[in-house]
């Protein structure tokens, strides 16, 4: 890392931490009012069926909480509030610091993670996005406090340089997605404890996942976006088009074989 590089938002020490461990938690990127707007938007969405983006089973008697509250995929494609916060200026400035160049927004998601929900097995994001050359970076915003009890995120430090590997089959009793990437023996998964409004940034090769939500009364809501470096020329077709910070769409070449982050087990969300 160049010691003389000018940072927009981060300190050189924060940049060093990201480069060394593959992740960084930053506080205070959203105001209370902005978080309330995000909460309200996705509360409203939770009572709807939006084909291709959010397809809940609205039957109150469903046994799987993720059937009633599946993740919302690409809300920026149908909701202006989601698009606005996918392009949130403080987040885009931090991404520019991490990349050393401008960032392009590729995906938005919202996870409700209600009590009793399964987690997501350890995986690597760039297995799905296939950003080349370069890598994707996630910005994972805690809409609720996230910890070991309510299904907070797990990260495996220093796996940002670990090659993208073919995943194994996950345990369907604990993970709602099928893919599992085994960490290297010398590294352990650790909890990323986050307060409401914290944003976790992590490298696309970093191995990460989440716990089951073991609580009976706490959601673990999160607004999650993925980005690519401006110099990238290819990405999986599922993520096109990308967007510049000013909202201008950008078309990259299609990288084959990518897809949604984490393929779900069949019949997880019966309709």
pLDDT digits 0-9 by tens, 67-109: 999 999 999 999 999 999 999 999 999 999 999 999 999 999 9
Q: Report the alpha-carbon distance of residue 238 to residue 73 in Å, rounded.
A: 11
Query: 259 pLDDT band (50/70/90 cuts)?
Result: low
Is the pLDDT at 155 greater than 70? The verdict is yes
| Reduced DSSP (H G I as helix, E B as strand, rest coil) percent helix, strand, coil of the chain, to 5 | 20, 25, 55
DSSP 77: G
Q: Report the alpha-carbon distance of residue 85 to residue 224 in Å, rounded.
A: 10
CATH architecture of 12-255: Sandwich (2.60)
Is the pLDDT at 248 greater than 90? The verdict is yes
Query: 162 pLDDT band (50/70/90 cuts)?
Result: very high
The chain-wide mean pLDDT, for the chain, equals 92
Q: Report how far apart the first and last C-alpha atoms of the chain are (Å, whole number).
A: 50
Residue 211: phi and psi, rounded to 5, are -75, 160
Q: Report the alpha-carbon distance of residue 177 to residue 123 in Å, rounded.
A: 10
**What pLDDT, on a 0 to 100 scale, did the predictor assign at position 256?**
82
Is the pLDDT at 187 greater than 50? The verdict is yes
Is the pLDDT at 163 greater than 70? The verdict is yes
**What pLDDT, on a 0 to 100 scale, did the predictor assign at position 267?**
40
Q: What is the pTM of this model?
A: 0.92
Higher pLDDT pick, 201 / 259: 201
Its sign, for the CA torsion 25, 168, 261, 119, is: negative
DSSP 222-261: EEEEEEEETT--EEEGGGPSEE-TTS-EE--EEETT--SS
């Amino acid at each position: 890392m160049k010691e003389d590089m000018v940072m927009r938002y981060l300190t050189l020490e924060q940049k060093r931490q990201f480069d060394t461990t593959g992740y960084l938690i930053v506080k205070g990127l959203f105001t209370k009012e902005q978080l309330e707007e995000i909460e309200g938007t996705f509360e409203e969405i939770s009572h709807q069926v939006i084909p291709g983006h959010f397809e809940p089973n609205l039957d109150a008697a469903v046994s799987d909480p993720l059937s009633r509250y599946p993740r919302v995929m690409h809300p920026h494609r149908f909701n202006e509030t989601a698009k606005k916060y996918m392009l949130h200026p403080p987040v885009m400035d931090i991404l520019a610091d991490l990349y050393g160049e401008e960032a392009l927004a590729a995906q938005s998601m919202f996870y409700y993670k209600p009590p009793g929900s399964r987690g997501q097995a350890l995986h690597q994001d760039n297995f799905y996005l296939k950003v080349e050359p370069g890598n994707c970076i996630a910005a994972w915003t805690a809409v609720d406090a996230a910890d070991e009890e309510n299904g907070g995120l797990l990260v495996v430090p220093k796996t940002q340089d670990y090659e993208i590997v073919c995943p194994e089959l996950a345990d369907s009793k604990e993970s709602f997605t099928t893919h599992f990437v085994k960490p290297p023996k010398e590294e352990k998964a650790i909890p990323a404890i986050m307060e409401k409004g914290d944003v976790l940034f992590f490298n696309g090769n970093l191995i990460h996942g989440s716990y089951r939500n073991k609580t009976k009364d706490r959601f673990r809501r999160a607004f999650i976006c993925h980005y690519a470096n401006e110099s990238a020329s290819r990405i999986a077709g599922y993520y096109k088009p990308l967007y510049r910070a000013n909202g201008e769409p950008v078309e990259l070449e299609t990288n084959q074989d990518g897809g949604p982050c984490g393929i779900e087990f069949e019949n997880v969300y019966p309709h």
